[in-house]
Amino acid sequence: MARTKIEWANESWNPVTGCSAVSSGCKNCYARKMANRLRGRCGYDANDPFKITLHEDKLVGLWDLQGKESVRIFVESMGDLFHDDVPDEWIDRVVSAAELVYGRGGKLHDYLFLTKRPDRMYRWAERNTLRGFVDHPNFWMGVTAENQEMADKRLPVLKMLPAAIRWVSIEPMLTAVNIEPWLKNGTLKFVVAGPETGAGARKAESGWFMSLYRQCRKYDVPFFDKRKVGGLSKQFPKGGEDVERIDK
């Protein structure tokens, strides 16, 4: 486990590291850059640091949170659990490990899963309905949708997934995105948005964030704006750490 600077989570957990590009949001992947910096160390291969790698020690390491204050855990900040090269059996083990670790007083930790491969996530869950994400109130299942094309492609699949909380991360936000149909029909219970950062970052327009904020506001869905300057709100499902809303 590791503390994370990602504002919408307290910890990051990476039982899998590595990935491969699938859409335009992958162009400036921060995880790939980080893996290259760590090549030959911390479990990253010296020759191919961003190849799919399964980390047995991370399953055991999750127990560091047993009995501690309940936290939000970002599953896979450095990879994609639902990459085609990750065996179903490994996903089973990751989910089983998450099921067994409780916070203080038996309160569940929240696990925020995020993928760019919802088709694989759905196929896995469909085959594992008894061991998968059904009836797990602390499993938040999300997809990345960096533009309208990916929102239109990935959100219909997410809708089919049995999950207590379905969410979307629109980061890096590369275009304006209309998600109103998925807010209206109850698919989405949480929306995160953020611009691309770092060298070569593509610009996101303020109006895109305002549009998303208003869509979420209309359907009373928590919206988390990751921008350091000009952020509109930082809200969570289940009555989390809400901050003042700004309407313009």
- Supply the pLDDT for residue 246: 38
For residue 133, the model assigns a pLDDT of: 55
pLDDT at 248: 34
Query: What does the pLDDT read at residue 12?
Result: 95
Written as six digits, the tokens of 49 are 């640091």
42 or 175, higher pLDDT: 175
Q: What is the mean pLDDT of residues 201-228?
A: 96
Predicted pLDDT of residue 137: 83
What is residue 129's predicted lDDT score, i.e. its pLDDT?
59
CATH code assigned at 220 = 3.20.20
Please report whether residue 125 resides in a domain.
yes
Residue 18 lies in a domain: yes
Query: Radius of gyration over alpha carbons of the chain, in Å?
Result: 17
Total number of domains in the chain = 1
- Assess if residue 238 is contained within a domain: no
Look at residue 222 in the predicted model and tell me its pLDDT: 97
Query: Considering the domain boundaries, does residue 71 fall inside one?
Result: yes
Mean pLDDT of the chain: 91
pLDDT at 229 over 90: no
The answer, yes or no, to whether residue 179 has pLDDT greater than 90, is yes
Mean pLDDT, rounded, for 58-77: 95
Supply the pLDDT for residue 15.
97
Average pLDDT over residues 11-22: 97
Residue 40 pLDDT exceeds 80: yes
Question: Does the pLDDT of residue 56 top 80, yes or no?
Answer: yes
pTM tops 0.75, yes or no: yes
Residue 135 within any structural domain of the chain: yes
Rounded to the nearest 10°, the torsion over CA 14, 124, 145, 182 is -130
For residue 244, being part of any structural domain is answered with: no
The answer as to whether 84 is a domain residue is yes
Among candidate residues 41, 117, 103, the one with its CA nearest the CA of residue 72: 103
pLDDT in tens, 146-160: 999 999 999 999 999
Structure tokens at 72: 């939000």
Range with the lowest mean pLDDT among 4-8, 34-38, 56-60, 185-189? 4-8
pLDDT for the residue 135: 59
In a domain, 101, yes or no: yes
Mean pLDDT of 117-126: 92
Full residue range of the structural domain in which residue 162 is found: 2-225
Q: What is the pLDDT of residues 81-102, one digit of tens each?
A: 999 999 999 999 999 999 899 9
